[in-house]
A and B are shown apart, each in its own frame.
Chain A
Amino acid sequence: GENVEQHPSTLSVQEGDSAVIKCTYSDSASNYFPWYKQELGKGPQLIIDIRSNVGEKKDQRIAVTLNKTAKHFSLHITETQPEDSAVYFCAASDGGSYIPTFGRGTSLIVHP
């Protein structure tokens, strides 16, 4: 089955800095890679996703890049703000499963 590794587990940045979270996956058949943001006391919410037919996708301050050859994908947040503080999860869905595999999460702390 699929295995997703996520790093770092904790990331602390100053407001205005950029933050990068990286995930690697094992199944070359994976074709869908969502990122979720989980605020304290809430369920995860999708913030951006990418499919295997593109290498990069941007949405305002958030971008995701995908390297299928190396089997890794990354979340980039620019101009971080305190409200970006949350736990971020990556996930990968392989071509034969209805069940995505999640990374263990990254706790992002943005200091004002």
Chain B
Amino acid sequence: GAGVSQSPSNKVTEKGKDVELRCDPISGHTALYWYRQSLGQGLEFLIYFQGNSAPDKSGLPSDRFSAERTGGSVSTLTIQRTQQEDSAVYLCASSPMAGQRGTDTQYFGPGTRLTVL
């Protein structure tokens, strides 16, 4: 079946503009994660959604970052007033969460490469 999809694949924006990044998880997966990956760096956790529970926003770097997940499926990550340091690849992952907490495999999308000029 289809994997996790993200759009756009690339986004170039000017400093100060707002951007929206979209993630379509695997159908039926209840958990959804957003990560940020800067050039040559590891995966920085941003936010986690699980079903109808309140999201875990503990990784969001500032109040310019927000995310929502509508109907328990598609998620949108919004960055307001973008800064050059926001330039990175933003990865989305989903997980079925059918097993024990923290033990389910994450399936990653291809990412959105964001460049802030």
For A44, give its contact among B91, B97, B101, B102 (CB under 8 Å): B91
> Is B1 on the interface with A (CB-CB < 8 A)?
no
State which residues 20-67 of B face A: CB under 8 Å: 31, 33, 41-43, 45, 48, 50, 56, 59
**C-alpha gap A13/B117 in the complex (Å):** 37
Identify the closest chain A residue to B91 (Cβ).
Answer: A43
Given contacts A44-B91, A102-B42, A103-B42, 19 further A-B contacts (CB under 8 A): A31-B103, A32-B102, A34-B105, A34-B106, A42-B110, A43-B4, A44-B108, A45-B108, A49-B105, A51-B103, A94-B102, A97-B101, A98-B97, A98-B101, A99-B45, A100-B106, A102-B43, A104-B41, A105-B41
B residues neighboring A (CB under 8 Å): 4, 31, 33, 41-43, 45, 48, 50, 56, 59, 91, 93, 97, 100-103, 105-111
A residues neighboring B (CB under 8 Å): 31-32, 34, 36, 41-46, 49, 51, 89, 93-100, 102-105
